[in-house]
Amino acid sequence: MAEASHAQGIGGTFAVLLALLLAWEAAVWFFTPAPILLPPPSAILAELWSSPRYFLRHAGFTLWTTLAGFGLSVVLGVALAVAIVASRWADRVITTILVVMNSLPKVALAPLFVIWMGTGAEPKIAIAVMLAIFSIVADVALGLRSVDPDALALARVHRATGWRILWKVRFPNALPALFVGMKVAISFALVGAIVGEFVGGSAGLGHVILIAQGQFDTVRVFAALFVLGVIGTLLFYMVEAVERLALPWHVSQRSQHGSSPR
């Protein structure tokens, strides 16, 4: 039943999107704005259809830097959160650095990363990490901390070591928070990758948009935006699907198990 309602939800989303595209097409046909300002959706789809390999290649680059930045953020973010929870000293140092880093506009740092790392994938991944890591660290640290004090007492009564408490109690307890952080981080990683491509390099959808803008090729700009929207949406739903598989026990996922007999 839950699966059916989930499928219905996706079907509904598509219906709304299709209706919006049709309204857009009709509006362009009716008001005939200059093509350089607003092309119709049919022209955008034709543009994608005319050079699929070009868009695939650049989308692939953006996807790879986004996923690399996201993956690194998760690994580093979880490690930093563990350090923050484990030691008051680490908490002070790491939190201070993260807050300062997060209050700087990352777009302003992008040129610096190009100077340091060149114009390949590395600066894009670095900027994606800078944008995405904050939500991972903040959410996971909260999840690791908000453990039932009685559960910790129980672990201590059974003489559990700190590592065992981390692995068997704190970490599973933080998983729902990790997924909240990951859903925010995946979108931020994509933003970071595009910002990196705007600043330098010769690949990725950000680069496509920049070049097309220089040629006033509005149709191509829209085509690249369309692909970006599809990638961003798919990445988000991918994280949500993994969450459903990983947390069947969590309150937020329980509807399909029926209510408790209490």
Partner 1 sequence: MGLCIEVTGGGKTYASARGPVTALADVGLEVREGEFLSLLGPSGCGKSTLLRAIAGLDPLTSGSITLRGAPIDRPPERMGMVFQRDVLLDWRSIRDNVLLAAEFQGLPKRAHEARAMALLDRFGLGAFANRHPWELSGGMRQRAAICRALLCEPEILLMDEPFGALDAMTRDDLNLELSRIQQDGARTVVFVTHSIAEAVYLSDRVAVMSTGPGRVVEVFEIDLPRPRPLAIRESPEFARHVAAIRGLFSRLGIVKE
Contact set with partner 1 (CB under 8 A) = 148, 150-151, 153-161, 164, 168-169, 172, 175, 247, 249-251, 254, 257, 260-262
Q: Least distance to partner 1 from the beta carbon of 40, Å?
A: 51
Q: Least distance to partner 1 from the beta carbon of 171, Å?
A: 10
Nearer to partner 1, 57 or 164 (CB): 164
Nearer to partner 1, 63 or 169 (CB): 169
Q: Least distance to partner 1 from the beta carbon of 167, Å?
A: 10
CA dist list (Å): 98 to 90, 91, 183, 209: 12, 10, 19, 31
In the block, residue with structure tokens 């198990």: 257
Nearer to partner 1, 123 or 143 (CB): 143
Rg of the chain taking only CA atoms, in angstroms: 23
**In terms of C-beta density within 10 A (0-12 exposed, 13-18 middle, 19 or more buried), how is residue 251 classed?**
exposed
Nearer to partner 1, 160 or 231 (CB): 160
Tokens of 218: 């509005």
Q: Least distance to partner 1 from the beta carbon of 182, Å?
A: 18
Q: Least distance to partner 1 from the beta carbon of 151, Å?
A: 5
Q: Least distance to partner 1 from the beta carbon of 156, Å?
A: 6
Nearer to partner 1, 57 or 257 (CB): 257
Q: Least distance to partner 1 from the beta carbon of 177, Å?
A: 13
Q: Which of 198, 202, 165, 188 is nearest to 235 (CA)?
A: 188
Let me know how long the chain is: 262
Nearer to partner 1, 3 or 150 (CB): 150
Nearer to partner 1, 53 or 158 (CB): 158
Q: Which of 209, 83, 189 is nearest to 134 (CA)?
A: 189
